[in-house]
Structure 1
Amino acid sequence: MARTIQPQDLIDSTVMDNSGSKIGKVGTVYLADDTHQPEWVTVKTGLFGQKESFVPLSGADMGNDGLHVTVDKDQVSDAPRIDAEGHLSQEESVQLYKHYGLPGPRSGDREDAKHSGRGDGTRDAAMGAAGGAAGGKHMTDKQMTDKQRSGRDAAAAKGGRHDASTSDDMIRSEERLKVGTEEVETGHVRLRKYVVTEEQQVTVPVSHEEVRIEREPITDAKAGRKAEIGEAEQDVVLHAEKPVVQKEAVPVERVRLGTEKVTEEQTVSGEIRKEQIEVDDDTRRGKHS
């Protein structure tokens, strides 16, 4: 590496591959037993960062935009899924070195580390700020409080991850559904008018003239003139009404399109995960009530 990378600088850093593409964010830092320097990091990938893949720090460099590693994104995605539980075994370490095409640690180095009391060939995990209150630096026993020393010793005895800030408690988390709404287009409504023809019947009163013969007897007293025998005729013009049909267009209705918002309730469902905590008290084993 171009310069020494401190564990506290790596936590939550963005990891970029050898082409500059973002892989994810650093989750856990693993230190080498012999040098106590960062050797591996796990990178949170996948949906919501639920998966963690091991990425080697060999040749990596810390820049302003994040951690630049020498492997590509596809290699990280295809890396073996290992649940190291705070330590990498020799077999797991060799498997990862082989996947990334890197030369593995020499067996002699591991034997030297064993005889010098520096570990069993696995890796120490540095979590959080790589040392909690110490800010990632190694503290001597005199600088540590009794509480920090007991937390460190307990983590070393169990071979697990050690974080002084969380040695006395654990946080239980669970997922919750976060439901909202978004407006989407559901269709189009068009207003169009067209012409149809229909038969309509209307009753109209009409009148006409008819000839009626009126007869009135003439008495001698009313004669008034001398009767004459001869021919005569009288012409009467008759009239009648007939229906006349005309068409005219008149406005009868105004039509427009409008929208109104209707609220209804819909039930949504989804799977959520939550953590449960159980107590394994080995002091009660073998006791009879």
Structure 2
Amino acid sequence: MKDSFMGQIQDGATVYGSDGEKIGNVSEIGPNYVVVSKGIFFPKDIYIPESAITDTADDGLTVDATKDSIEGMGWDAAPEAAPDTASAYERETAATGQTDVRASDGERIELREEQLQAGTRPVQTGEVRLSKDVVEEEQSIDVPVHHEEVEIQRTRVDRPADSADAFSEQQVSVPVMAEEVEITKEPRVVEEVAVGKTAHQETQQVSEPVRREELDVEHEGDIAPASDRTRE
């Protein structure tokens, strides 16, 4: 079953995780593994062993890992192949011409290149906190107050004195009043602060090295140089 899986895989095939999410494309096929090249989502090449391939189809292959977990599977190097597997692979590639493609009349060779595909995900870039502190300051207000002052008025008179009160001590008391300031404090709401968020869109340029295949033409024998035409 595994041999049939490896025989059905094509270079450039789409690789899907066990959750159905696309992981990448096959950039290299080994005797017992396939390679998904590094790019935006992976910092290094991923060597998926043959044992992790669970299914193949016309549109690609499925592996026993998700896109989020594949980096932690330890597939950062090519797995060792059994001697018989490696020999069979070498014989197959030599027979099919994967390492040395010689095109006869009507034969074609496909040239591939990597193209960048970008997506976005939300990440926290910062945080705003609102808090309030109690501070003390000196405040002054003007308060009108009243007070009484004593006025003494003397009026000259000329009348007979009462003999009972004549030449006796007498005392008169007059209360003098004034207002005193009393201070009370009343808490009042003087301001409200509301916090909200607005989304803005901007364009960011990202760069990543990509690979492409170039055609090398080798001439053997006494032949005219091959013409190179591009058809749309």
Decide which structure has the larger Cα Rg and report it: 1
Instruction: Normalising by structure 2, report the TM-score.
Output: 0.48
Instruction: Normalising by structure 1, report the TM-score.
Output: 0.41
